[in-house]
Structure 1
Amino acid sequence: MNVYRSTFHRLNIDRLVRHALQADYLVKNHIAIMLVIAGLLNTSPSYAQNQRPDSLLRVLSRHRGQDSVRVNIYLKLSHYYFGVNQTESSAYARDAIMLAAKRGYAYGEARAHNQLALIHSLANEAELAIACALRAESIAERNGFRELTGESYRVMGLTYLDQEDFTKAGNFYRKAEMRARETGNQVLLAKTLNGEGGMRIRQKDRPGALKYYLESLKIAQEVGMSFYMALILSNIGEVYMSGDPPDLANASRYFTQALESARISGNKNGETNALANLGKVYMLQGKLAESETLLLQSLKMSDQMGIRITSQRTYMKLVDLSLRQYNYKKASEYIQKYYAVRNYLMNDERTKEMARLEEKYQSEKREQQIQLLKQEKRFETASKNFWIIGSSFLLLAATAIYLLQQSRNKKARQVMTIQKTLIAEMEEMDLMKSRFFANISHEFRTPLSLIAAPLEELTQEVGASGQINLNLIKRNANRLLELVNQLLDLSKFEAGKMEIVVSMGELGQWLRVFVASFESLAEARKIDFQTTINVPEGMFAFDQDKLEKILTNLLGNAFKFTSSGDSVRLSVQVMAEQGDLEVVVSDTGSGIPEKDLPHVFSPFFQSQHITSDGQPGTGLGLALVNEIVKLYRGVINVQSREHEGTTLTVQLPLEVSKLTFARFASEPVPHFLAAGQMHDEAILPDEIIGPIATDATILVVEDNRELRQFIARAFANRYKVLTAENGETGLQIATERVPDVIISDVMMPGIDGIQLTECIRQQEVTCHIPVLLLTARSDGESRMKGLLTGADDYLSKPFSTDELRVRVLNMISQRKRLAQKFQTELVTPPPADTIPSIDDKFLARLRQTISERLADPVFGVEQLAAEMCLSRTQLFRKVKALLDTTPVDLINDIRLQRAAVLIRSRADTLTQISYSVGFREQSYFAKKFRVKFGVSPREYANS
């Protein structure tokens, strides 16, 4: 009996296997179709599950516009019907193409062509799919939509893979992968890698397929492609199942993960396939009951969803399972159901073929209609052209007359235009002059301040300090004289009164003596000064005065822009070929920003660039050099990189044959410098501030070092003085140290005085600090701008030292009076309708914070500073400035005020009241209360 049963089983298996082999091609192609469907899903595969067509159709009916919004709705509807109703999906994709092309919406048109290519690829219409994908790629490439070109390459790879053309498929997949990596589109990269894995599995390259699948899975997990992960996990399981022998353990693990992923993401199709695959694994493992449960679940879901191709595959697995269970009756039933589904699918294919033929016929019909319309359009255009040409001849005579009449009007308009241009140019020149004199005013007023203020001090000071001021006056008087001389030289150039006067002299010796005068300056400033003079011995014709001015200004600017520890290099040589003198001055200083290079030869150009001595302006030096070089028929150029240094190169003619424009003097050039050739003394570092007479702190923000030191010395005997060389440093010091008064210059590089005041007023920790602005501009507009910004006072240069001291003293006194006012408001808040200032908001928050922690006995300054987001020092300075008290005293004062209110209202016992306001010890509470109110708590309660 057993032998008969075994033989019968083998005969049934052989027969069923033959049927299965006959259907194998169809099954394989259906599997491929399912993989393609999953691979062709759009960038967001889950939204076809989330957005139903009825909701999209409602949105479409409400949206009346023919615009990009309607194109996107068409594309969403096409995505929804994709793989479900290809006719509807194709119709919506074509509607999107037509509307996008009509509206010039290139991005939507490229997307729609890609979608139509996917539809043709699924229908095995390879030529149409490739044509649509190429059209999408052309539009996307022309408009720079690199991600869409990558999608086009992926679609063409899928299409060629379905045609078993692995060479072209591989090329397009590699292009899609490259474009996905270039644009950082991880979704496109994951899909492309999954497609490349599918190509490797068809080529029987299991390790290669597994590599691509695992990389695709990693990316999908990173970007959260939960809907798509079920497909990738199932593909990995299929790789392990296709082994010889099959790796059932790994296959089961990945099919289980695919099932879990599909259920979490709501991917019903993925869940159905995972159940079927897992059922097959259990069947091969001999777990027939578990296998049957999973296969029946898959069959039920595929029947409910109408996915008959999955049902067909599941019936084949159930046939195999029934034979393994020796249940031949069920096996026969499943065979019949398998063929029923197979026949339905074959009929469905024929129906689809008829639909494709119908669509082709309709497409040809529409093309004929378009051609007919084009012919009618051409006829209509020809008719219009006839009438246009006739009308043109009639209008030609009238136009000629009209043009003749307009000729005189045109000439009149030209005259008016020229007049307007001249007026505009004159206005621009006036504006340039205004800017010039405004900037030059700043250059002059600072030296004047440093002359006038020390002179006033000399009447009161004696001893060594008087000598310091005398030296200060001398340096700035020389600076002012230099500026005046340069202005006179420039005026001569403008008037055409300056000329080149050359004399014969030993150029090399003169240069060495002249350059030596700068060595002491370099030593004082601790700058490495290197010179290279390659001038042959002998007599040369040159203008000693002009060359002296050129070298003085070039070297002066180099030292001006170079800090201690950096280097300045001078190179002078006679160029044998050209017969010219070349002067190169380079430094390793702060350099010049690229945007400022075109303006370096402008007089008094003001830049954000900061020099070593705090002077942001170029003064008149380079402007004068530029004019001299032009007059000398020479060449000058500048090369500079910010934070690396600057190089200035000047070439001047030396040969007599080239100096025909110059006047020759009869007297030779002297061998040594003229008497009185001096340079400014080296600027010493900031001096140590003197003794402090009060606890008040003043911050001086001034970019000119000498003026900064002078103001600091003026207040050193009475206040603690802090200094800053620019607005950025000043803001940082003000935030950290919270001074009582800030004295700031207005015109500074970077953050100027106006901007510094704005920053001070906007910060809660510094908004209370009085600010006094010093400026070289004394006009009312500048003064009004500073006061509107929040400055408390304004003082023009040159200023009186006594007046400056009085104004600072008044500010400190006024701040103490305001502190008394704020102390009153701390106990009695201001009316609700009053607009609070930043200080009012700070005090309100301070009062609220202390009140909320009143009962905490350990609540002190450290905790209060943390609650207010300030350091302990900042809190102390802020409270001291606003309330003229310390934070410790403030906390105790509020506690005692609260205790007095509770005692007066008899809210509790004295012991409990002291605890409720944060006092642990009764004796300490009674002591503080008596100091505050003059009586003990008990006496206060009985009063």
Structure 2
Amino acid sequence: MVDPTINTLMNKYKMLYLCSTTNAVLKPPYSLSMSLLVKLGGVNLRLILSALTAFISVCFLLVSCGRKPVSFTPDERKVADSIVRSAHGIDSLASLQKRLEGEDNRLGSVIALREWGKALRNESRFEEALNVHSKGQQQAEAIGDTLEWVQALNNIGTDYRRMGVLDVAQEYHYRAWTLSEECADTSFTAKKNRAISLNGLGNIYMTLGNYERADSALRLALKVEQQLHSTLGQAINYANLGSIFEHRGQIDSAWVYYRKSMALNTEAGSTLGISLCHTYFGSLYKESRQYDKATEEYETAYRLMKASKDEWHALNSLIALADIYHTTGNDAKEMEYLGKAKAIAERIKSPEHLTEIHTLYYKHYKRTGDYRTALSSYEQATVLQDSVLNMEKVNRIQNTSLNIERNRQAREMNEARHKLEQERATRYVGFAILGAVLLALSGVLAIVLYTNRLRRRSHLVLKRLSALRENFFTNITHEFRTPLTVILGLSHDLQDAETEAVRESARTIERQGKGLLTLINQLLDISKIKSSVGNPDWCNGNITAHLTMIIETYRDYARSRNIDLHFLAKEAVEMDFVPDYVSKVMNNLLSNAFKFTPEYGKVSVSVWRESNCLFLDVADTGEGMDKETLSHVFEPFYQAETDARNIGTGVGLALVKQIIDAVEGSITVESTVGKGTTFHIHVPIHNDSKRDMGITTIDNSPLLPENETTPADSEGEDSQCHLLVIEDNRDIAAYIGSLFADRYAVSYAANGREGMEKALNLVPDLIITDLMMPGMDGLEVCRQVRGNEIINHIPIIVVTAKITEEERIKGLEAGADAYLAKPFNADELRTRVEKLLDRHRHLRDKFSNSADTDKEQKLTDVERHFLAKVVDFIYQLLDKRHLDVNTLADKLCMSPRQLHRKLVAITGDSPATYMLKIKMQRARNLLETKPGLTIENIADRCGFEHTPNFYSAFRKMYGVTPMDYRRGIGI
């Protein structure tokens, strides 16, 4: 019956990893020696402790209510700490404290008392430590230093815990925690004080076996230590939480927390922490009956603590070693360590350790059969246990905890009640204010309605005046353009004069006239945008492709100026936009960028999408602008007064600002003199326009879009119009192709050489080609197409960024049927393609329905020559009786498919139909010129094996039989 009781007591008082780094001082209401507490018994002890507890509470409340905290600066605290830290050893700290107290350095004296008491406690001189910390608490209270006061409370609580007076220790730690919660200080020391208070309370609850409350307090302490990034503080709390798991029998979790503690202690270099972790490891090994490993861990722990003067912690390792040797039956070792432990525990007067030691003596003597000595040891353990913690103390601690909880709940209820009353008062005041506001709003609303009526009348008058002014402005700008057109035309003609002076004057007139015309056009644009004349031509499509075409128009100019033009588009963006607006904005910004960028500079354009906004940057490495110019950059006709070159912004940037505002966007500018300028534009992305430009989304693959349709050798597919797009820029190629993909078959080629191969293979109805391409350019494509008999009939449209008259004339001379400048208008390109295809369709229709003479007149020389060759080969093959489509194609050095596409494009007839027409023409000629030939002979000469087939074909072609035709001509 005795054994379980003693084991329970041992488990309850197994030493935990207690906080040994507290930094607080508070006046203790009493200072009793441990020997006196042990000797006092029964009612006397209970009465004294109750009275002292009450006295603590009263003193604490009086002090906390009546004293205002004094705040020392961090620098003052650092100075005092450095002075105290320079003293080493108990004697040095004692003499330093007396000197500081004599110098009236009160803060330094409090800190010296704190560190002096801690040094005494570390050497297990608990009574002396308690006296020193009590004095420190008195001085901290006298100067009203809250931080040192809280540290004193925690230190005294720790002293009493080491002495085994847990109920009093609880009071001190709780008071320290309450002060920390109520204090507004958020410094490191204030937060550390709170963590130490929670740690002390957690250890007390754990000793009592209240693991739920202990776990809550210790986890709060751990959270604070983590916020402070305190390695040692975290190690302490991880170890304590591991002890809770061990007591609950959750060994795996205990291992996890103990190992975390060991890692943190190792990082902090704490010998005490490492030693205690080895003790905890040994305890877990013992529970799993791994006694060798447990002994090794205990020995390691004792070896680390042996050189330390902290005998109180060293006792843990000695008692653990004695216990493990008792378990393994090594009586000699057990008695050796018990003797050492008993001597130390009696010297430092630790009833907790003496209780465990006498309990182990009891177990040893009981096992060896010395029951008299065993009974004596048991009685001593029981007396010591009662001095540390009897049921009266346990109940008092639990009652104190309940009172703490009740006080906390009462405080929360009072706060809630006070808050409710405040909310009610606020609600009543709010209702009153709301009524007054509503009344005021009613008056304001009446005034607003009246002023709006007046404003509406004024607005209508101003609108009429504005319309009159803007109509006049629009009309006068149109009037300017008529004489300017005449001036530009005459100046161009004068440039052909023989005299150089006249030519130079003509060029000057043309240059100034073009500048004036540009200015007039921009003023007209501003007028249109401002007055909302007409509806903007909104369309939906790939704005990235449109921007790409605009940038391409500046490539040649950039190369001629040795300027690096860089364009970066992160992705294809589908959105509503006005192509004319985009062109005007980009042309103005790029013109300005090139105007002010010197040779070997750089102009870059970037466009990307973020959320529902399109962002566009135009940057240059030009001269830049000063702050004065930047503030007026979007004003029409502004010129920088201090600029020696008299650089003016004209109306271009004003037009850009007007356009961006019209589409609900924004434009800003950054500039540094001598480094360059960057314009930032962002506009909202909408997709509401019903007019679709048909621009497809382009992926990031290096290939052209794989939507090529290759017709097979069938009449149905060959009857569909086929377009070939030759363009090295995949975005523009996809854009062009997408304009016609819903009506025609479209093929793509990335350069001129590939385009020629596909043109010969497909014989398309129309070719759209770029001018500037790697390898074979667009002009060479035109020349080779016109020089090839198979495809020389195909219409060609050249689309390019080269927009000078000279380049356009070169393109037309090379054989282009149309010449469009980038960025082209989609409707214009569609119209050009439709007109060219319609013209060829009309020519084919007229060819098939007109007489031979008319046919010859409608064909070009190249087409007449080709058809003559076809007819000659047909006659040759008829004579040899080998006429068929494949043989005819071989004779013409063409594939049957090429022959089919070529004949259909010129005549509108397939090869079979065209050969039949030639046969019928020959038959009619023979009927007219060879009366001696029979109908059967004529059918044979015309390639018909069966005469009935010849009769049927002739009647279908001419409406009469061959015999009737011969009779009709009188043969």
Tell me whether the two structures share a fold, i.e. TM-score over 0.5.
no
The TM-score normalised by the length of structure 2 is 0.37
User: Which has more radius of gyration?
Assistant: 2
